[in-house]
Structure 1
Amino acid sequence: MKFFRTKDIEQMRAQALASGMAKNLTAVDLVLLGIGGVIGTGIFVLTGVAAAKYAGPAVVLSFIISGFACGMAGLAYAEFASIVPASGSAYTYSYAALGELIAFIVGWNLVLEYTVTSSAVAAGWSGYVTGLFNSAGVQLPFAFTHVPADGGIINIPAILITLLLSFFLIRGTKESTTLNRILVGIKLIAVFIFLFLAGPQVDVTNWQPFMPFGFSGVAGGAAIVFFAYIGFDAVATTAEECKNPARDLPIGMIGSLVLCTILYVVVAAVLTGVVPYSSLNNPEPVAYALRYIGYNMGSALVGVGAICGITTVLLVLLYGQARIFFAMSRDGMIPAGICKIHPRYKTPYLVTGAGCVVVSAIAGFAPIGVIAEMANIGTLSAFFVAAAGVMVLRVRRPDLPRTFKCPAVWLVGPLAVLSCGYLMYNLPVETWIRFIVWCVIGFAIYLSYGYKHSILNNKHVVKK
């Protein structure tokens, strides 16, 4: 039963206070960080793909279903954040409520989520920038903008943007959030330019048939567009760098999620209203829609906004990846030698650098198409476990002070579990097979390393 030993929550709080990381993030920073992590590839790319291949105009329902699942899980996250204001997101929450083995598997899946998604986003950023240069008449060398599997040698732009953003993250959290604020502002302006120009051009006949692939298409679309929400849980990894985590984290998570869901639904409705859904299966559906209705300049502006949007997503994902690594390293789940804070910048520089190297290698050399699908199931599994954990902790530790309590927890908790489980059920069988294999590998690593080196093997901090 030592596999299910839990960390003492009071010790976790003390550990977070003594982490040495600079505490300078406010609720506004967290809301913008959430928007930075969510509004990007989803709104500028996935909206069109999901409409064309899965749900048609009913893609708005796909976003609502995914947003609902995230919202239910977000309420559970918010309660956990008020109880355990420590880095690590669902990994830390699972360690407090469900035990070490489950926490390790959750952390293992979050590492996969952040690493693979970061690589995919970096590759997407490279594609957008290369396209922008081509539009300006500057042809970048094919060999140095594509991976070997696509006929190139190395994707240099993807590596460069990863290195640049990692530098900002090492340099300081405040500097990174300042950059995020600027880029979030630009991409929101791009979204509103699209809505302002395209909104009056909506033709309701394009919404017919509304559900061409049936409800199964809507459900499949919801499972796919869930990728658009990856990055939302990165807000929870900021706990040790917040000025007032118990108050600010719930505001940041719920606030950013509500705003992003509204934007997704409105953009999806306008997009499918101005362009037949069947023509939206392209890498830049929002810019394409503006060109389709004759706004070439608006299309160019939206393209720049898309690049900014993808940049902030990558920034937030790299940030979250480093904090998950940091939390697992501090607990002995992975080598503790990389769990160090920079003496000047007060950031976990070694894990940030290590993550940068891995992401750069994948984005620069590897085809990430099929592997990227695993990011969805990894995130959904973390949400599933967190929702279950908040109910378990209500039973085991009703005495814990909770500055934020999940409303109607015995309704919200099961709804979160069921909605996340439903989205996982609708993912392809191949994704499930890879997910199970990845979890088995994680279990083997836990048995061979994590279990032996766990901080709980060296200190009597098990909460019974």
Structure 2
Amino acid sequence: MAEILSVRAFLSRARVVRVRDARRVTHTMKRSVSAIPATGGNLSTTHGVALYVGAVLGTGVIALPALAARAAGPASLVAWLGLVVASVPLAVTFAALAARYPDSGGVSTYARRAFGPRAAAAVGWWFFAAVPAGAPAAALFAGGYVEAAFGGGETTVYLTVLGLFIVVAIANYFGVRVSGRMQLILAGVLVTLLVVAAVAALPQADLGNLRPFAPHGWLAVGSAAALLVWSFAGWEAVTYLAAEFRNPPRSLPRATAAAIVIVGGLYLAIAAASILVLGASAGSTDAPLAELLGRSFGEPAKAVAAIVALLLTLGVMNTYYAGAAKLGAALGRDGALPASLALGSRAGEVPRRSLLLTVALGLVGFAIVALTGVGTDSLVLATTGSFVAVYAVGAVAALRLLPRRTAAWWTALAAVGMVLMMLAATGAYLLWPLLVGGSSLAYVRGRRRRMAGGS
């Protein structure tokens, strides 16, 4: 009898163990599934190329060739080439992370996985705050080109800015599929116009304009590079849309490779044409692209340059607002912003609340500039500081998240080195992301206290 009881006890304990194991396995599976970001979007590799071109080949090509030439003369071409090369490991690193962890949180998600929720909140706020600051500056650049072509003073500039905000808001309100299609058209027209501008200027190129090559000394190349950081911001923007791709591991690396070639080639072509064709006057004009087109096509070039400026700005704003809207929803989902913004964080959903908030903040930034008369320089530099801070955390996070000693890991290590140089070039303007990051930590801490008090 005792033996029978002992056997029954043994079988009973075995059943309990099996039930516990089954529960443990089920719990582990649920955690694993919840940790895998949901995908199932509609974007393709071609959409990815268009989004990258729109984000990176932005308003920098409108004015920065002249600013760089003013700082370093023909030697500014060295700065352009250096930043094209430096952008490769950064772009490849973010593509590797986005393919491995496709989520609307983008770099914020990578920071969460690598360093925890506080780092994720800071990174998310940096990007979310950078878009409302950078978008008005970009729109005002485009408005300046339109005013130069058609006149009308500040009224034309301000109406152009409002028009850009309205178009971008409507396109993204109906989802990333609509804004993605718009981006395809914009990128195609934009690339065609820039290629035409560079090729049409070739017959007027003069190698004599390369002398003296470094009129302000070689140290001026560093100053030019600091200005050009704005031109190469954008490689992180598509990470927030990674879950909207049909096949992120396949599409994102291919889109990144193609975009690096297209963006790098066009930047170098326009910068070289500005130096070789315009010569010493390359640094004295505020609209080098208009000057290049004017040399080839005459007076109608101003209208063409205005169209290019509008397309460039529309492409940049479209990509960044699509990414920021998704990010805002993800931050609401993760507790770094109000939960009311969380709707739309999943793939295929439209984050309308987050989009409207982002557009509203952008209009507030524009109103501040318009009412106070403050120039766009402060907005540009604050935006650059925020982006460099995002790059820094994202690159370091990649060293923890990507498989060690693989090609992607070594590329991330190179990206960290590039970001360190960007941080040095940004200097005092890192105070803005420090302020925003501190505010994000205060918000998260306060939210946790409210939740603890409510429970």
TM-score by length of 2: 0.84
Aligned-pair CA distance for 1:342: 10
**Among candidates 325, 329, 350, match of residue 353 of structure 2:** 350
> Which residue number corresponds to residue 340 of structure 1?
343
Shift in alpha-carbon separation, 1:68–1:89, aligned structure 2, 3 A: farther
State the distance in 2 between where 1:448 and 1:214 align. 51
1:370 and 1:24 map into 2 onto residues whose CA distance is 37
Aligned match of 2:83: 66
Aligned residues: CA RMSD: 2.7
Aligned to 1:409: 409
* Unmatched runs of 5 consecutive residues or more in structure 2: 1-30
**Structure 2 Cα separation of the partners of residues 352 and 340 of structure 1:** 11
Q: CA offset at residue 335 of structure 1? A: 0.3
Amino acid at match of 1:443: L
| Inter-partner Cα distance in structure 1 for 2:250 and 2:449 | 34
Deviation at 1:168, TM superposition (A): 0.8
**Secondary structure, aligned partner of 1:46:** helix
Give the drift of 1:40: 3.0
Contact 1:333–1:451, Cα closer than 8 Å, also in 2: no
What is the identity, as a one-letter code, of the residue corresponding to 1:409? Answer: W
Q: Which residue of 2 aligns with 1:31?
A: 49
2:379 equivalent to 1:379: no
Distance 1:267 1:156, change over 3 A: closer
- TM superposition shift of 1:81: 1.5
SS in 2 for 1:214: coil
Once the two structures are superposed, residues 76-121 of structure 1 have per-residue CA deviations (whole angstroms, 9 ceiling, x without a partner) of 2122122211112211111112222222111121122222111211
Contact 2:186 2:311 (C-alpha < 8 Å) held by counterparts: yes
SS at match of 2:337: coil
SS where residue 219 of structure 2 aligns? helix
Inter-CA distance 409–392: structure 2 relative to 1 (3 Å threshold): same
Identity %: 23
Aligned length: 417
CA distance 1:325–1:408, shift in 2 (3 Å): closer
The 8 Å contact of residues 380 and 420 in structure 1, kept in 2 or not, is answered as yes
2:67 aligned partner:
49
Q: Could you tell me how far apart the structure 2 residues matched to 1:318 and 1:382 are?
A: 17
Task: Spell out, residue by residue over 1:260-315, the C-alpha distance to the aligned partner (whole angstroms, 9 max, x if none).
Answer: 01210121111111112454343311112333567333454233222212211111
Q: Which residue of 2 aligns with 1:401?
A: none
Classify the secondary structure of the residue corresponding to 2:407.
Answer: coil
Question: Residue 11 of structure 1: which of 29, 34, 43 is its match?
Answer: 34
Residue 208 of structure 1 pairs with residue 211 of structure 2: yes
Structure-2 residue corresponding to 1:4: none
Deviation at 1:442, TM superposition (A): 3.0
Which residue of structure 2 aligns with residue 434 of structure 1?
Answer: 432
Q: Contact 2:104/2:345 (CA < 8 Å) preserved in 1?
A: no
Check whether the contact 2:175–2:350 (CA below 8 A) recurs between aligned residues: yes
More helix by share: 2
Q: 2:326 aligns with which of 311, 323, 327?
A: 323
Q: Which residue of 2 aligns with 1:261?
A: 264
The 3 A distance-change label for structure 1 pair 340 and 259 is same
Q: Provide the C-alpha distance between the structure 1 equivalents of 2:449 and 2:351, rounded to a whole number of angstroms.
A: 23
Residue 302 of structure 1 corresponds to which residue in structure 2?
305
CA contact (8 A) 1:121 1:310 kept: yes
What is the rounded CA distance, in whole Å, between the counterparts of 2:199 and 2:163 in structure 1? Answer: 34
**Residues 275/104 of structure 1: CA separation in 2 closer, same or farther (3 Å cut):** same
TM-score by length of 1: 0.82
Structure 1 runs of 4+ off > 4 angstroms?
450-454
Q: What is the CA–CA distance in structure 1 between the aligned matches of 2:41 and 2:379, rounded to whole Å?
A: 35
* Secondary structure at 1:94 match in 2: helix
CA contact (8 A) 1:48 1:277 kept: no
Which residue pairs with 1:461 in the alignment? none
- Structure 1: 5+ residue runs without aligned partners? 1-7, 147-154, 399-404, 459-464
